[in-house]
């Protein structure tokens, strides 16, 4: 059977490299995978399974034979390029925030709303949510199916890889500078991140919330349920990979800790590790490189009627970005919503 031609745009970046790993790991039905990035990276080499791909420049690439374009090159590039790529007949699955709230673009987390992928035909673009949203809704959805969620209060602890490869370099070089008494330079973050944390991700909005906090609210409503009230505080922490979230949930009816644990144990994409002993929970270090959304520290919130408290951890480059994008592509194929162009010809 003829497979698909897949383009990975941003293939030299944190998310793009992980996309190539995941396509290979999951044996995605691709006949050909092309790696694209900016002109700066032309000729650079990236790994795809046991193959080495030479990176090509996006602005000179012809997409007329491409079936699926996994895009992770930032908002400005996506705004300009995604409609052009879609016009050449490739389905664009985009990781930036550019298209997420467009009513003609489905915003998908396959464990939650995979059927909505069918809406891709309007613009030829499907959006991947923000990394913190993806892992949050994977855990909220099965609970919401059992007892309607009225309100969520979330504090995030987000790793530096969520801000790209330069941000990871900044944590590394600042940490080294602390030990060698060198100069600490901050370029990617507004304050020092090494041995510190920063209660600001993305820009401030008029109401005092940051754009990252707004995204978590707006995207959860679009993917899961517009009736859910949510308030977030998003914090950058000196962790390389893995986002964590402390989440308080208020339901419209009682739900016990035991029942929540059993629902989450059986929910797609979720793994519960919740022992009441030192180390009986998951930290970002263990979640890095894994595909699951881990749920620990499940407790009753005694301060509200029908409340639970959870600790949720996942690899932001995987479930928060690359894995989710590849799962969206798989959803299109499983539902027979796309056909390989070569096969169709
Ligand atoms: N990191 C996460 O957890 C996460 C989660 C969800 C969504 N996202 C989103 O995913 C996107 C990529 O994030 P990242 O963390 O992978 O960033 P990154 O590590 O900084 O990589 C950026 C990638 O974009 C490429 N690029 C930049 N300008 C380009 C241009 N003009 N034309 C073609 N390619 C260009 C870069 O290529 P060069 O190497 O050639 O510069 C690189 O491959 C962003 O929109 C981000 O918001 C990230």
**Whether the CB of 317 sits within 6 Å of ligand 1:** yes
pLDDT at 345 over 60: no
Model confidence, pTM: 0.96
In this prediction, residue 60 carries a pLDDT of: 87
The per-residue pLDDT for range 58-103, each reduced to its tens digit, is 998 999 999 999 999 999 999 999 999 999 999 999 999 999 999 9
pLDDT at 32 over 60: yes
Q: Average pLDDT over the chain, rounded to whole?
A: 97
| CB neighbour burial string for 28-45, b if at least 16 within 10 angstroms, e if fewer | bebeebbbbbbeebeeee
- Mean pLDDT on 22-31: 97
| Among candidate residues 288, 309, 289, 291, the one with its CA nearest the CA of residue 299 | 309
The per-residue pLDDT for range 126-155, each reduced to its tens digit, is 999 999 999 999 999 999 999 999 999 999
**Whether the CB of 74 sits within 6 Å of ligand 1:** yes
Q: 249 CA distance to ligand 1 centroid (A)?
A: 33
Question: Is the separation of the CB atoms in 37 and 13 below 8 Å?
Answer: yes
Q: What percent of the chain lies above the pLDDT cut of 70?
A: 99
Question: Is the separation of the CB atoms in 248 and 307 below 8 Å?
Answer: yes
The per-residue pLDDT for range 267-320, each reduced to its tens digit, is 999 999 999 999 999 999 999 999 999 999 999 999 999 999 999 999 999 999
Question: From atom 31 of ligand 1, which residue's Cα is the shortest distance away?
Answer: 38
Active site residue 276: no
Burial of 177 (0-12, 13-18, 19+ CB in 10 A): middle
Among residues 131, 144, 234, 270, which one is catalytic?
131
In this prediction, residue 343 carries a pLDDT of: 66
Question: Is the separation of the CB atoms in 320 and 131 below 8 Å?
Answer: yes
Q: What is the C-alpha to C-alpha distance for residues 310 and 133, in angstroms, rounded to an integer?
A: 15
Per-residue pLDDT band at 1 (split at 50, 70, 90) = low
Question: From atom 7 of ligand 1, which residue's Cα is the shortest distance away?
Answer: 95
Q: What are phi and psi of 123, to 5 degrees?
A: -120, -10
In this prediction, residue 344 carries a pLDDT of: 63
In this prediction, residue 342 carries a pLDDT of: 77
Q: What percent of the chain lies above the pLDDT cut of 90?
A: 97
Active site residue 243: yes
Contacts of 111 (CB under 8 A, 6+ apart): 137, 138, 141, 267, 268, 269
The per-residue pLDDT for range 186-235, each reduced to its tens digit, is 999 999 999 999 999 999 999 999 999 999 999 999 999 999 999 999 99
Question: From atom 11 of ligand 1, which residue's Cα is the shortest distance away?
Answer: 72
């Amino acid at each position: 059977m003829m497979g698909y031609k897949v383009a990975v745009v941003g293939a030299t970046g944190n998310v793009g490299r992980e996309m190539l790993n995941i396509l290979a790991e999951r044996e995605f039905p691709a006949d050909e995978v092309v790696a694209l990035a900016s002109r700066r990276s032309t000729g650079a080499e990236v790994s795809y399974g046991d193959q080495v791909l030479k990176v090509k420049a996006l602005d000179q690439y012809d997409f007329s034979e491409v079936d699926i374009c996994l895009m992770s090159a930032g908002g400005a590039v996506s705004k300009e390029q995604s409609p052009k790529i879609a016009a050449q007949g490739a389905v664009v699955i985009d990781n930036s925030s550019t298209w997420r709230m467009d009513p003609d673009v489905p915003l998908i987390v396959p464990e939650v709303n995979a059927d909505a992928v069918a809406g891709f035909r309007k613009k030829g673009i499907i959006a991947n949510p923000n990394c913190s949203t993806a892992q949050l809704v994977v855990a909220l959805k099965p609970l919401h199916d059992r007892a309607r969620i009225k309100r969520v209060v979330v504090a995030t602890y987000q790793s530096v890889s969520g801000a790209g490869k330069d941000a990871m370099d900044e944590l590394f070089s600042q940490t080294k500078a602390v030990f060698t008494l060198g100069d600490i330079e901050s370029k990617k973050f507004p304050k020092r991140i090494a041995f510190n944390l920063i209660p600001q991700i993305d820009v401030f909005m008029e109401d005092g919330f940051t754009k990252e906090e707004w995204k978590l609210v707006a995207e959860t409503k679009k993917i899961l349920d517009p009736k859910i009230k949510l308030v977030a505080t998003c914090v950058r922490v000196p962790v390389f990979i893995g986002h964590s979230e402390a989440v308080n949930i208020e339901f419209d009816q009682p739900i016990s800790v035991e029942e929540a644990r059993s629902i989450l144990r059986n929910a797609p994409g979720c793994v519960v590790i919740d022992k009441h002993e030192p180390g009986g929970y998951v930290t970002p270090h263990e979640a890095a490189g894994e595909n699951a959304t881990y749920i620990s520290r499940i407790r009753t919130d005694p301060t509200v009627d029908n409340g639970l408290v959870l600790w949720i951890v996942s690899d932001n480059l995987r479930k928060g970005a690359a894995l989710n994008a590849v799962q969206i592509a798989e959803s299109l194929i499983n539902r027979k919503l796309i056909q390989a162009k070569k096969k169709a010809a």
